[in-house]
Amino acid sequence: MSALRKWLDIRTGLAEPVRTSAAGHRVPRDLVLAFYTLRMVAFVAIVVQIITGIVLLFYYVPQHQYAFKSVQVIMDQVPYGWLFRLIHVVGSNLLVTVVLLHMTTAFFLGSYKKPHEFTWVAGAFLLLTVMALCLSGYLLPWSQLSYWAITVLTDVPTAFPVVGKFITQALRGVSGPVSDATLRRFFALHVGLLPLLLILLLVLHDGVPAHLRYRRRRGGEPVISTEAVAVALYFIAMFSIIAFFPGLFLPHDAHVPADPLKTPLHIRPEWYFRAPYEILKLIPSKFLGIAVQLVLVAVFICWPYLDRSRERNILKRPLMLAVFLATITAWIVLTIRGTY
Amino acid sequence: MSAGMERRGFLKILTSILGLSALGTLAYPLFRYIFFVKTASTGATVTVPVAGLPEGSAKDLVVGDTPAIIIHKPTGYIVFSRVCTHLGCLVNYHKDRQLLICPCHNGIYDLDGNVVSGPPPRPLPQFPFKVVGDKIEIG
Amino acid sequence: MRICLAAICLMGLLALAVGCNHSSPNGLAGKPRVERIDCLICHAAKTMKPAYRKVVPEWRQSVHYKNGIACNDCHGGDPNNIALAMSPAHGFVGVPTYQGVMQFCGKCHIDILKSCCMGGARHSINMGGAPCTNSHCVALMTTGKGPNCVTCHGAHEVKKANINLINPQLCGRCHSYALAKTMKAALWKTEKKIEALQKNLKTLKAGLIPTSDAEQVLYRTKESYRSLFHTVDVKMVQDKTAAYDRKLDALQGQVQKGFQELYFRRNFALWLMLIFLGLGIAFFLLTRKPK
């Protein structure tokens, strides 16, 4: 075994970087390891999504007459097609959960402060890219759920006075309702552009500021063992859901082919979009609702440049703590309201 | 010290076995998934003699697993699935009204399979057929 | 900076307060189509006569409402124009007579009507068609006092039918329950099979096993069997039950295969879960920092 390793190392020079980032990756003892491991879990979740996505591409057909049927074929006829599709569906929800937790803990711990502002900004764009991937992927099964959720969401930009209609047209690929052109466009985004953007942003998020990472070789806690537990928990959650609640993220309308002439009783976006959607419903003017959201997103992206205080411990900053708790509570309340 | 080394050795072997099992349990489905070839539905064709189907008449049959019906319209033959697209009851041919009517909720289809009235959401699916000599081959 | 933070904090609390109190959304999620009929403008109004107002909440509990069937689908009229909602020229037929209820419901439930009227032809009130052999129908048409559809199923609060509609309270109203009891006994086993199949298919559907073909076969078998019951002919039911039982048993065979697939998938995912659990623990023990 070690002879093989030596053979590889002479030719690739990878032994040292692997050792540094694996067993050699140690962090200060006062770091909250549970939060720190979310980085690795998020990375593993992305890799799982990419692999299962490519696997699904073998049988999925991105045309409106065949899309729904091809997904049915994957689920019912292709051996273990159900496994890969369910890993992809459950995995996407787990990915969003992990990314949101990672973002929340990074905020809480003040990880965005100097000199890590750039990491936060790249991370903000990563979150937006993950959301865009979720949105574009949602349409691909071409079910009633897909069709009408995307109809509602692509209708949102029309609130803008001049450019709104063009944005909606650009998203849908046609000037009318969601159609085959939208499906092809979303497929190109989901399978081509957005994954490349994701990888680029990952490099900017973690690779470029690599010199700022923890690099203690002696002393400190090794991260790899706790990371292994965290990744194992991720897979345990995924396979428990697949074993006992396979239909958790696939409600009734997900099994009905899209019918542009029949609006379902209740159209609701997926859980991670419910809070922004509730804000839209609560604010009387549609334009104001979207404007508020855009302002919030801009604040979110530029946060490290707005909060210049050097104090990293949020418990010593009561006002910041209050803002943090109020935002989390508001998000949870709005998400629950959007569900019932 | 040596107990620790033994335990470490055991853990290494255990981890390797579990790791290989995990890889194998994921590789086998991937292998089956990729190497799956969909068999074209050979499905025994159903044959109906032309003589047994004068104009205006119809015959019930089963194509694959689906109850179906062949009708000799004034303009030619046509083969439909009899399964109503509403909830799955079997439609009946009414020669006098030249319509197909579902007995469960009065869904009415014309002889092209299109919905005339009632709750059915879609037209009746048709089956391909060809007339070979004095026989009609369906499926 | 502090003012900025305080402002954001206030916004968050405001969002909370609004979120908790605000009850009706801004119309982006509209009412279901079956609620957007003009009939409700009068019939749901507080000034409407109680007897006509109560039909609305009754209808909202019914299986018809759940399937998008509104007032005009039975009573006629134009549901989108209040001036024409009760116009005979637009098909409004009003409330059916007691004896006319069967034809009224039979506009859609044609197979049930056919079973009630054994000759297959619709009768005028004077029985001008083929002679009727259905005892309930004979009683209804000759004396005006027999049961009609509403007697057992209700008018607006129609729920999904089940075998317990045959009970002493309903059937014992006109004659001894013994007759109905014999019929219930003849139906019992098959109805229980249907119930069990419905439950099994629901479980399979929740487990994402394909069930739509089996659901359709069960539906049409069930409808055909229920239609048979409406002849009120115990002997006919007893003679034909075996054929239905055979169909249901074949379906149960398919359902069993479905369960095999469901359990296989569950066990496979469970196995993967256990492997990763073991791997996580083993790797943790292997790589943790020795004390």
Question: Could you report the per-residue pLDDT of A276-314, keeping only the tens digit for each?
Answer: 888 888 888 888 888 888 999 999 999 999 888 888 888
Q: How far apart, in whole angstroms, are the C-alpha atoms of residue A201 and residue C230?
A: 68
Q: Are B123 and B83 in contact (CB under 8 A)?
A: no
Backbone Cα Rg of chain A: 22
Residue labelled with tokens 């007995």? B103
Backbone Cα Rg of chain C: 28
Neighbours of C108 (CB within 10 A): 19
> How confident is the model over A181-196, as a mean pLDDT?
97
What's the pLDDT score for residue C1?
Answer: 57
Structure tokens at B3: 């107990």
Share of chain A above pLDDT 90, in %: 56
DSSP state of B100: E
Of B34, B38, B121, Cβ closest to residue A77:
B38
Q: How far apart, in whole angstroms, are the C-alpha atoms of residue C178 and residue C199?
A: 30
Mean pLDDT of chain A: 89
Q: Are B101 and B94 in contact (CB under 8 A)?
A: yes
Q: How far apart, in whole angstroms, are the C-alpha atoms of residue A315 and residue C98?
A: 76
Closest by CA position to B58, among listed B82, B87, B88: B82
Q: What is the pLDDT of residues A27-81, one digit of tens each?
A: 776 677 778 889 999 999 999 999 999 999 999 999 999 999 999 999 999 999 9
Q: Are C145 and C210 in contact (CB under 8 A)?
A: no
Q: Which residues contact A163 (CB under 8 A, 6 or more apart)?
A: A157
Distances (CA, A) of C139 to A94, B49, B125, C127, C178: 65, 48, 43, 12, 18
Start-to-end CA span in chain A (Å): 57
Q: How many CA within 13 A on the CB side of residue B14?
A: 18
Q: How far apart, in whole angstroms, are the C-alpha atoms of residue C118 and residue C130?
A: 8
Distances (CA, A) of C68 to A174, A259, A335, C191: 31, 16, 29, 27
Helices (H) and strands (E) in chain A, counts: 16, 2
Q: Which of C10, C18, C33 to mutate to test the interface with A (most CBs of A within 10 A)?
A: C18
* pLDDT level of residue B13 (50, 70, 90 thresholds): very high
Domains of chain A: 33-270 (1.20.810.10)
What's the pLDDT score for residue C26?
Answer: 37
What's the pLDDT score for residue C121?
Answer: 40
Residue labelled with tokens 């969909």? B38
Q: How far apart, in whole angstroms, are the C-alpha atoms of residue B63 and residue B48?
A: 12
Q: Are C195 and B68 in contact (CB under 8 A)?
A: no
Q: Domain spans of chain B?
A: 1-37, 46-138
CA distance B16 to chain C (A): 9
Please report the residues numbered 28 through 87 in chain C whose beta carbons come closer than 8 angstroms to any beta carbon of chain A: 28-29, 32-33
Q: Do B36 and A78 touch (CB under 8 A)?
A: yes
Confirm or reject contact between C288 and chain A (CB < 8 A): yes
Structure tokens at C41: 């403008």
Neighbours of B36 (CB within 10 A): 15
Give CA angle at C18 (C14, C24), nearest 5°: 165
Closest by CA position to B134, among listed B46, B56, B71, B51: B51
Structure tokens at B125: 């699916």
Report the SS3 class of residue C211. coil
Q: Are A80 and B32 in contact (CB under 8 A)?
A: yes
Q: Domain spans of chain C?
A: 175-291
Q: How far apart, in whole angstroms, are the C-alpha atoms of residue B120 and residue C246?
A: 28
H/E segment holding residue A221: strand A221-222
Q: What is the pLDDT of residues B28-49, one digit of tens each?
A: 999 999 999 887 766 668 888 8
Q: Looking at the predicted structure, is the pLDDT value of residue A204 above 50?
A: yes
> Subunits with at least 3 CB pairs below 8 A relative to chain A?
B, C
DSSP state of B46: E
* pLDDT level of residue A220 (50, 70, 90 thresholds): low
> How confident is the model over A14-21, as a mean pLDDT?
77
Q: Do A55 and B30 touch (CB under 8 A)?
A: yes
Q: How far apart, in whole angstroms, are the C-alpha atoms of residue A303 and residue A104?
A: 13
Mean pLDDT of chain B: 90
Q: How far apart, in whole angstroms, are the C-alpha atoms of residue A172 and residue A169?
A: 5
Q: How far apart, in whole angstroms, are the C-alpha atoms of residue A181 and residue B113?
A: 29
Q: Do C279 and B18 touch (CB under 8 A)?
A: yes
What's the pLDDT score for residue C23?
Answer: 43
H/E segment holding residue A36: helix A33-36
CA distance B36 to chain A (A): 7
Q: Looking at the predicted structure, is the pLDDT value of residue B133 above 60?
A: yes
pLDDT, averaged per 10 consecutive residues of chain C (291 residues), comes to: 59 56 42 79 91 92 89 92 91 91 90 71 46 78 86 91 89 86 92 96 95 94 91 88 94 96 97 96 84 60
Q: How far apart, in whole angstroms, are the C-alpha atoms of residue C160 and residue C191?
A: 14
Closest by CA position to C211, among listed C263, C160, C262: C262
- CATH fold for domain B46-138: Rieske Iron-sulfur Protein (2.102.10)
Q: Are B16 and B24 in contact (CB under 8 A)?
A: no
